């Protein structure tokens, strides 16, 4: 047998090597191989039969690790991703094996420990105090240390010779132990143990359904549709307890890194006796933290793994349950190669592992919903809040009428919302204001000539940030000084257009000066643990009004919040994307769910210029079934997902004509021998035609079946030589069309 090895690096080199006698090589092993005149490191993809050849294959040099770092199931998953999403296997291996694991410079952190096995007698200590005071001091410290162990570094400087002589005399011994670089060490306060809660009948039925799937030979995926506040997390925790009692492991996926700490806190509180068996995996970890967490998981030291999208590749042994929280979130889709959908890969891995998987959401994606209707997924529902409270009352305010009341243009806060905020302050209750736009003003515009300050690298207006007194591009990050006059006509009357979270914060300071207000967005939360500290202060009722972007839209539980205001609910509604209505419905429903989660009734005020939009009206009634019925009919008519697959082929370059011409050439080649059932769109400028200094053009393709579409595009790309300055990107099951 020969080993087929993928060499580390961007070139995706795959070579066959002979296996020396006595070397236990298996798929997924990391090996050192000869490559030209140097040594290289690679991953064994498979073992292949040796073929007759006119030359002798070079042999593998050695194993980097004695055991395979990629399990057979993960290797199978990786091959599926490469084929389905049309990407190179090397890019997938980079996801399966993080850089922190692949890079040889990384290693476990260790420290030297001094251990005293027996306590010296009092006479011995008295003699040492006179003749060897340094030895006496070291022994005194060890005698009062937990388990009579202390790190050598904590015994003071210049003790090396003292410890050596004491070890020789038999007073102590020096050991080396591995030190875990805990990513949550300074991020989570002390966790108090929580006991399982009494489940209501709906929760009990849901838990029984999940437990049945855990015990099945080939369980089907489960969609847990539970309204906000219905107690999905408690069902997750009790299902996880059942799996852990069976000796298996649990994988928990959350849509955003910012939600990881609170999820970790909940699981550590419930499983207090095994807090050290909870591991965290996400892209914000340092290289050392990621190395330690990954190897703890692989060795079976961590039985619960919590993380964002990339945690779907955690090397957990004996996987028994996968939980995907807020499964509808777009953040589960990877925006760089390999462009996999984390939720779908989790379902695939569950099928390979033959373990149960639960997709939870109050507003499921229509793809998952359709899978329940077709019988691919089982459906469990939680239609009532766990505490028995009614869903919050949602009021829709037509901002067109508000505009007529204010001569200076539409107000940021309607009269109804301002009055409701004042009433909550008087009662000592808390409020949340949601606006999915950070900064102070959307743009800076000259009323005389119409000039708008634009980003020089992207086709978007620069956003004014008053805190930094800068114009900032929210696409590429470009910053510019705020002009005092119009750059075109030199008129000094240049004005601000639109508003963001900073302006809302300023308005509240004027309208409600007595209120304690805090803002949560990407600008305000730059400091490490700023989000955690702000949320803790809000939970402790030190903050009365919280303003935020989508960072506060999901997963937060504050019983004293009785009012949620949604400002400019139309922001994501009128964009060139067939999912715009679905996303608006999901966002409004999720934000509205933050209100009335305690004993007090909740109220939600939605400010909109399109009050009759189905997304807003169905969200007002918390009616997912009604919304999905009308939206699915629209999708069915046009063949959009979930009634087909949609892919985007994008060409980008610094030269506009070159990007367009390249894509036109690909369009002609794609049209040749186009497989039946594939709809090929025209070459069009991307909605955001320029980004990061590059012009972008795209083709949209649709097909009932994904594989023929993906393979046809990949075959055309493989036989097409692209200009050096043009990059072509293929995105299967695309979520972003901008």
DSSP-assigned letters across all residues of 376-430? SSEEEEE-S-TT-PPPPEEEEEEHHHHHHH-TTS--SS-HHHHHHHHHHHHHT-E
Query: How far, in Å, CA of 285 to CA of 288, rounded?
Result: 8
SS3 annotation, 619-674:
HHCCCHHHHHHHHHHHHHHHCCCCCCEEEEEEEEECCHHHHHHHHHHHHHHHHCCC
Domain with CATH 3.30.70.600 in the chain: 645-731
User: pTM above 0.95?
Assistant: no
Looking up tokens 């950070």 gives: 438
> By C-alpha distance, which of 153, 56, 157, 71 is closest to 114?
153
Q: What is the pLDDT of residue 305?
A: 97
Sheet holding 430-434, edge to edge: 393-398, 603-608, 561-566, 430-434, 545-548, 517-520
Q: What is the pLDDT of residue 19?
A: 92
Check whether 187 has a pLDDT greater than 60: no
Check whether 32 has a pLDDT greater than 60: yes
Give whichever of 431-445, 523-537, 550-564 has the largest mean pLDDT.
431-445
- Which range is least confidently modeled, 25-34, 37-46, 123-132, 391-400? 123-132
Domain with CATH 3.40.50.300 in the chain: 201-382, 393-440+499-635
- Chain-centroid distance, C-alpha 127: 61
Just give the CATH number of 645-731. Answer: 3.30.70.600
β-pairing, 38-48 vs 30-35, is antiparallel
- Chain-centroid distance, C-alpha 243: 24
Query: How far, in Å, CA of 75 to CA of 96, rounded?
Result: 8
Kindly give the residue spans of alpha helices, DSSP state H, lying in 689-732.
Answer: 706-718
Which DSSP string corresponds to 20-80? PTT----TT-EEEEEETTEEEEEEEEEEE-----SSPPPBP-EESSSS-SS-HHHHHHHHH
The whole-number average pLDDT for the span 229-256 is: 95
Q: What percent of the chain has pLDDT over 90?
A: 64
Domain with CATH 3.40.1440.60 in the chain: 2-102
Level-2 CATH architecture, domain 201-382? 3-Layer(aba) Sandwich (3.40)
Task: Tell me how far CA of residue 359 lies from CA of 233, 306, 327, 460, in angstroms.
Answer: 12, 15, 6, 36
Q: What is the pLDDT of residue 185?
A: 65
pLDDT class of 664 with cuts at 50, 70, 90: very high
The percent helix, strand, coil of the chain (3-state, each to 5) is: 35, 25, 40
**Maximum separation of any 2 CA atoms in the chain, in Å:** 95
Are 34 and 58 a contacting pair, CB within 8 Å?
A: yes
| Predicted confidence (pLDDT) per residue in 274-317, tens digit | 888 999 998 888 888 888 899 999 999 999 999 999 999 999 99
The whole-number average pLDDT for the span 538-543 is: 92
The whole-number average pLDDT for the span 322-326 is: 96
The whole-number average pLDDT for the span 724-730 is: 95
Helix (H, G, I), strand (E, B) or coil at 264: helix
Q: Which CATH class is domain 2-102?
A: alpha beta
Q: Which helix H or strand E contains 213, and what residues bound it?
A: helix 201-214
Q: What is the pLDDT of residue 339?
A: 95
| Predicted confidence (pLDDT) per residue in 503-539, tens digit | 999 999 999 999 999 999 988 888 877 888 898 899 8
Report helix angle 160-169 to 133-143, nearest 10: 80
Those residues with Cβ within 8 angstroms of residue 173's Cβ, 6 or more apart along the chain or in another chain: 114, 115, 117, 167
The whole-number average pLDDT for the span 497-508 is: 92
Which DSSP string corresponds to 154-209? GG-TT-HHHHHHHHHHTS-EEEEEEE---TTTTTS-PPPP-PPPPPPHHHHHHHHH
pLDDT class of 60 with cuts at 50, 70, 90: very high
Q: What is the pLDDT of residue 407?
A: 61
Higher pLDDT, 495 or 158: 495
Structure-token pair, residue 703 = 């097909």
Check whether 109 has a pLDDT greater than 80: no
| Predicted confidence (pLDDT) per residue in 668-723, tens digit | 999 998 999 999 999 999 999 999 999 999 999 999 999 999 999 999 999 999 99
β-pairing, 249-253 vs 319-325, is parallel
Q: What is the pLDDT of residue 409?
A: 58
* Backbone phi, psi, residue 295, to 5°: -75, -30
Query: How far, in Å, CA of 683 to CA of 665, rounded?
Result: 10
Q: What is the pLDDT of residue 423?
A: 95
Check whether 188 has a pLDDT greater than 60: no
Those residues with Cβ within 8 angstroms of residue 507's Cβ, 6 or more apart along the chain or in another chain: 412, 413
* Structural fold of domain 393-440+499-635: Rossmann fold (3.40.50)
Q: Which helix H or strand E contains 82, and what residues bound it?
A: helix 72-84
Q: What is the pLDDT of residue 294?
A: 92
Q: What is the dihedral angle through the alpha carbons of 305, 311, 313, 319, rounded to the nearest 10 degrees?
A: 30
Q: What is the pLDDT of residue 111?
A: 75
Task: Tell me how far CA of residue 281 lies from CA of 77, 264, 488, in angstroms.
Answer: 19, 11, 50
Mean pLDDT of the chain: 90
The whole-number average pLDDT for the span 582-598 is: 91
Task: Tell me how far CA of residue 122 lies from CA of 139, 173, 179, 566, in angstroms.
Answer: 12, 20, 34, 72
Query: How far, in Å, CA of 590 to CA of 603, rounded?
Result: 14
Structure-token pair, residue 514 = 């007595």
Check whether 410 has a pLDDT greater than 70: no
Query: How far, in Å, CA of 323 to CA of 386, rounded?
Result: 20
β-pairing, 278-281 vs 479-481, is unpaired
Looking up tokens 């629209």 gives: 634
Those residues with Cβ within 8 angstroms of residue 689's Cβ, 6 or more apart along the chain or in another chain: 459, 695, 696, 697
Are 13 and 43 a contacting pair, CB within 8 Å?
A: no
The whole-number average pLDDT for the span 372-398 is: 93
Structure-token pair, residue 426 = 């008087």
| Predicted confidence (pLDDT) per residue in 592-643, tens digit | 988 988 888 899 999 999 999 999 999 999 999 999 999 999 999 999 999 9
């Amino acid at each position: 047998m020969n080993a087929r090895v993928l060499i580390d690096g961007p070139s995706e080199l795959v070579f066959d090597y002979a296996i020396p006698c006595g070397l236990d090589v298996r798929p997924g092993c990391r090996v050192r191989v000869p490559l030209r005149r140097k040594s290289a490191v690679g991953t064994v993809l498979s073992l292949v039969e040796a073929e007759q050849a006119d030359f002798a294959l070079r042999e593998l040099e050695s194993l980097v690790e004695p055991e395979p770092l990629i399990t057979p199931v993960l290797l199978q998953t990786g091959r599926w991703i490469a084929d389905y999403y049309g990407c190179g296997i090397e890019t997938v291996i980079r996801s399966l094996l993080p850089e922190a694991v692949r890079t040889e410079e990384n290693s476990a952190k260790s420290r030297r420990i001094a251990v005293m096995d027996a306590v010296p007698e009092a006479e011995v200590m008295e003699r040492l105090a006179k003749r060897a005071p340094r030895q006496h001091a070291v022994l005194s410290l060890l005698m009062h240390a937990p388990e009579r162990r202390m790190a050598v570094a904590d015994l003071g400087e210049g003790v090396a010779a003292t410890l050596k002589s004491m070890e020789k005399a038999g007073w102590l011994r020096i050991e080396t132990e591995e030190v875990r670089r805990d990513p949550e060490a300074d991020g989570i306060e002390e966790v108090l143990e929580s006991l399982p809660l009494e489940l209501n009948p709906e929760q009990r039925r849901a838990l029984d359904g999940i437990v049945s799937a855990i015990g099945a030979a080939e369980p089907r995926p489960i969609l847990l549709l539970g309204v906000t506040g219905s107690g999905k997390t408690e069902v997750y925790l009790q299902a996880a307890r059942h799996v852990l009692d069976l000796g298996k492991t649990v994988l928990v996926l959350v849509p955003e890194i910012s939600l990881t700490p609170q999820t970790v806190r909940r699981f550590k509180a419930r499983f207090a006796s095994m807090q050290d068996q909870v591991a965290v995996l996400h892209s914000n970890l340092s290289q050392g933290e990621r190395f330690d967490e990954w190897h703890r998981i692989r060795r079976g030291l961590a039985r619960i793994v919590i993380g964002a999208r990339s945690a779907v590749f955690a090397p957990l042994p004996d996987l028994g349950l996968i939980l995907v929280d807020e499964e509808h979130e777009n953040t589960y889709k990877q925006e760089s190669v390999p462009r996999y959908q984390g939720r779908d890969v989790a379902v695939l891995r569950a099928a390979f592992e033959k373990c149960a998987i639960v997709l939870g959401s109050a507003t499921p994606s229509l793809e998952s919903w359709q899978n329940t209707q077709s019988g691919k997924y089982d459906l469990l529902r939680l239609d009532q809040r766990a505490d028995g409270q009614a869903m919050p009352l949602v009021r829709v305010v037509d901002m067109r009428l508000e505009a007529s009341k204010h001569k200076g243009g539409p107000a940021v806060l309607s009269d109804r919302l301002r009055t409701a905020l004042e009433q909550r302050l008087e009662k000592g209750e808390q409020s949340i204001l949601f606006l999915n736009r950070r900064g102070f003003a959307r743009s800076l515009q000259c009323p005389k000539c119409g000039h708008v300050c634009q980003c020089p690298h992207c086709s978007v207006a620069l956003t004014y940030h008053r805190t930094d007194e800068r114009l900032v591009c929210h696409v590429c990050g470009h910053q510019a000084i705020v002009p005092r006059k119009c750059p075109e006509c030199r008129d000094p009357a240049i004005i601000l257009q639109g508003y963001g979270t900073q302006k809302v914060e300023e308005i509240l300071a004027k309208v409600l000066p007595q209120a304690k207000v805090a803002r949560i967005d990407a600008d305000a939360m730059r400091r490490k643990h700023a989000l955690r500290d702000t949320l803790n202060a809000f939970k402790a009722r030190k903050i009365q009004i919280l303003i935020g972007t989508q960072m506060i839209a999901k997963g937060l539980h504050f019983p004293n919040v009785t009012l949620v205001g949604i400002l400019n609910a139309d922001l994501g509604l009128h964009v060139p994307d067939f999912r715009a209505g679905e996303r608006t419905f999901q966002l409004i429903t999720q934000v509205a769910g933050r209100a009335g989660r305690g004993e007090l009734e909740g109220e939600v005020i939605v400010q909109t210029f399109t009050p009759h939009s189905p997304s807003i009206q169905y969200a007002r009634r918390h009616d997912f079934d009604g919304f999905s019925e009308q939206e699915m009919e629209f999708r069915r008519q046009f063949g959009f997902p979930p009634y087909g697959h949609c892919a985007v082929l994008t060409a980008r370059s610094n030269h506009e004509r070159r990007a367009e011409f390249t894509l036109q050439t690909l369009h002609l080649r794609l049209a040749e021998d186009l497989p039946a059932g594939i709809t090929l769109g025209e070459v069009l400028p991307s909605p955001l035609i320029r980004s990061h200094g590059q012009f972008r053009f795209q083709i949209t393709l649709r097909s009932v079946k994904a594989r023929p579409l993906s393979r046809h595009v990949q075959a055309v790309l493989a036989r097409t030589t692209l200009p050096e300055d043009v990059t072509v990107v293929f995105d299967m099951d695309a979520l972003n069309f901008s």
